[in-house]
Structure 1
Amino acid sequence: MAAASAAQEFIAVRTPREIVDRAACAAGTCGGPEARGAEAAYRWVLAPGTPAPVTGTVCEYLYDADLAAEERAALLTARDAGRSKAERRHARGVADALGWVLGFAPLND
C-alpha cells in the first residue's frame, strides 16, 4: 500500500484532486454536522500526520487500512445512542466521506 502524500497518484480509489474538490463542496454547504464531519475527513486524508477526525489517531502515512479503521470508528460513533445527536451526525459525515474515498457504496441507513 502506498502512503498518502501530495505526490501520490491515488488515495484509496480517489485522486487527491477529487478529494480536494469534494472538500471544497463540503466546506461550501450549510449541511450542518455531516458536512463539517465530511470536511474534517477530507482534510485528514489530505494531511497525514494530523489527528483523525473521530479517533484522534495520528499516522505519518495513511494506508487504506488506516482509512478503513477510521471509517469503522466513525460508523460506530454514528450509531452510538449514548452520544449527542450532533456528535453522531458529525461522525456520519466522516464515515460517508471516508467510505467515498475508499470506494464503498453509500450508506443508506
Structure 2
Amino acid sequence: MASASAVQEFIAVRTPEEIDRAACAVRIDGGPEARGAAAAYRWVLDPEAPAPISGSRCGVITEPDLAAEERAALLAARDPARSAAERQRARGVAKALGWVLGFAPLND
C-alpha cells in the first residue's frame, strides 16, 4: 500500500507538475476538446471539484476513480444524442485522463 506522500507525489503515473504543464498547454487551443482536457486536468489537481463528465466529487481521487471518469467520457464522446461540441469536449476529457493513467493516446 502506498503512503500518503506517495499518493500526493503521483496521480496515477503523472506528477502534479506534469499535469499542471499539460493543463497550461491545452489552454492555448480553446476548442471544445481542449476545454475538456483542461477540465479533466483541473479535476485531477483539485479533487474537491466536480468530475468533468459525471459531476461526482471524490475528495481523494484514486486510479479507479480516474478510470471510471475516463470510461464515462468515452461513452459520452460516442453518444449520438449529444451535440458535436459536447462529444468533442468529452473526447478531450477521455484523452487527458487516459494520459494521466498512462494509456496510449486515442487515435485521431
User: TM > 0.5 between the two?
Assistant: yes
Q: Distance in 1 between matches of 2:87 and 2:3?
A: 29
1:2 to partner: Cα distance: 5.6
- In structure 2, the residue matched to 1:23 is 23
Structure 1 or 2: more helix by fraction:
2
- In structure 2, the residue matched to 1:75 is 74
Q: 1:2 to 1:80 in 2, by over 3 A?
A: farther
1:59-89: CA deviation from partner (whole Å, max 9, x where unpaired): 0110000000000000000001111100000
Q: 1:4 to 1:93 in 2, by over 3 A?
A: farther
- In structure 2, the residue matched to 1:35 is 34
* Structure 1 SS opposite 2:100: helix
Gapped regions of structure 1 (runs ≥ 5): none
- In structure 1, the residue matched to 2:10 is 10
* Structure 2 SS opposite 1:8: helix
Alignment of 1:52-91 (within 5 A): 52-91=51-90
* Structure 2 SS opposite 1:70: helix
1:8 to partner: Cα distance: 1.1
Q: Distance in 2 between matches of 1:102 and 1:33?
A: 21
Q: Distance in 1 between matches of 2:44 and 2:72?
A: 15
Normalised to the residue count of structure 2, the TM-score between the two structures is: 0.92
Q: Distance in 2 between matches of 1:2 and 1:94?
A: 26
Runs of 4+ in 1 over 6 A off after TM superposition: none
1:11 to partner: Cα distance: 0.3
Q: 1:96 to 1:80 in 2, by over 3 A?
A: same
Q: Distance in 2 between matches of 1:86 and 1:13?
A: 29
Q: Distance in 1 between matches of 2:16 and 2:82?
A: 32
- In structure 1, the residue matched to 2:47 is 48
RMSD over aligned Cα atoms: 2.0
Normalised to the residue count of structure 1, the TM-score between the two structures is: 0.91
Corresponding letter in the other structure for 1:95: A
